[in-house]
Amino acid sequence: MIVVPHHAGRRVIVLGLARGGLAAARALAAGGADVGVWDDAAANRDAARRAGYGLADPATEDWRRVAALVMSPGVPLTHPAPHPAVVAARAAGVTITGDIALLLRAEPEATFCAVTGTNGKSTTTALIGHVLKQAGRRVAVGGNLGIAALDLPPLGAGGVYVLELSSFQLDLVEDPGFAVALLLNIAPDHLDRHGTMEGYVAAKRRIFAGQGAGDTAVVGVDDAAAAAIAHGLRAEGARRVVTISGGDDATAEVRVAAGTLIDAIDGASAPVLDLALAATLPGRHNAQNAAACFAACRALGVARETIAAALPGYPGLPHRQELVAVIDGVAYVNDSKATNADAAARALACYDAVYWIAGGVAKAGGITALAPLFPRVAHAFLIGAAAPAFAATLDGRVPHTMAGDLAHALRMARERATAERRPGAVVLLSPACASFDQFRDFEERGDRFRSLAAALPGRRVLLAPAETAA
């Protein structure tokens, strides 16, 4: 656990008591702060009180005594309306911050590598951590992925924190000054929390704030919004900019051509690795993730040969095109993390005979943008609140069934895929939706898919350990 000492003896309010909020409360209390906590959910308040924390009701707190409001990224800062505690804190001139800013201040001698993007940030974060560990570096991986930032171990000089950061977390960091900052891509997402696409892009761009001449910005150029940011950063000239592409974009310093990772950071192009050797990184989107990882690790001083040797051993992450079973010749892939159409497109593009399970709480635009990939879908099985709207989009274009819930969808998908016996058949959970209508989160949805697939009858292929974690 990180100890945060710079608020010792001062009143600090922690708002939002999920994983990151409780870690912040512990870190601040260990550093001597007078910590008060609050959560709009009564159950979370009761749990915090049982853990020994005093409650701080925003409506009755004397904000003139408060030094800082530490917010969970899940609490609205601006849209659709700021939380009442935010309004009160601003009126009193109280600093509003988050756990990432506290970590940066508590570990000034460590090196920070931060990753954001609409899609791919979890895989890229984990991949960078994997390569750094293989290179013998002292590293801790967390933030929006896995371990909360302030529950990570203290690393000090020579240590590297690799952090996945959401746009919500970046809204709570003013000038982070990350040694290496990555922006993978930008597609419309979370517009309810940022108000407009411009607000969302501005939050993502904040990852580069505070960088100087010794720092590196790694930016994807496979979409127009991110490419424009790369161009703007180059024009500023404040830090080194390395562009990356999952395809053969000749303008990118790190790119993938005909499946081979190419390094042109120093000018001359040199092959690094045939990505076919990295079985847990299928598809163009993972090619971009590999390129981003390479650029970041080179900026952190890892040799090209070390990165090339480490990438094929990456075990992968759950819920990101995770191969959970092969039964009677049909593969079952858990891509529950695909909570928007852009993420689902990355999975659909990897397979030619897809029995697609989709639905949940749809994002703006639904699945209309996926139309070019519809020929890859043999049949769609629709679940959750988005099912009627998705059915309307698919009508006359893709055969589909209103399955209702995940259990029925998987059963029907198995029956049809087994009966039709298409070469390369894949039952793919890639919902293009949030999960909150039927599940607590995408992890619970993916875990349910995995357990249901494990219970299916038929002749199975034994998967290697790396495959099961893909």
pLDDT of residue 191: 59
pLDDT for 195 beyond 80: no
Condensed to tens digits (0 to 9), the pLDDT of residues 260-317 reads 999 999 888 999 999 999 988 988 889 999 999 999 999 999 999 999 999 999 988 8
Condensed to tens digits (0 to 9), the pLDDT of residues 121-174 reads 999 999 999 999 999 999 999 999 889 999 999 999 999 999 999 989 999 998
| Cα→Cα distances 192→97, 178, 344, 376, 468, Å | 21, 27, 20, 31, 35
pLDDT of residue 16: 96
- pLDDT band, very low/low/confident/very high, at 222 (cuts 50, 70, 90): very high
pTM, two decimals, is: 0.85
- Measure the CA–CA gap between 333 and 335, rounded to whole angstroms: 6
- Measure the CA–CA gap between 394 and 382, rounded to whole angstroms: 10
Q: Are strands 330-334 and 353-359 parallel, antiparallel or unpaired?
A: unpaired
Give the count of beta carbons closer than 10 Å to the beta carbon of residue 294: 30
Q: Which of 84, 100, 13, 9 is nearest to 53 (CA)?
A: 13
pLDDT for 419 beyond 70: yes
In the chain, the domains with their CATH numbers are: 11-97 (3.40.50.720), 101-313 (3.40.1190.10), 322-468 (3.90.190.20)
pLDDT of residue 189: 64
pLDDT of residue 84: 96
Rounded (10°) CA dihedral 444, 449, 450, 454: 140
DSSP line for 244-303: E-SS--TT-SEEEETTEEEE-TTSS-EEEEEGGG-TT--HHHHHHHHHHHHHHHHHTT--
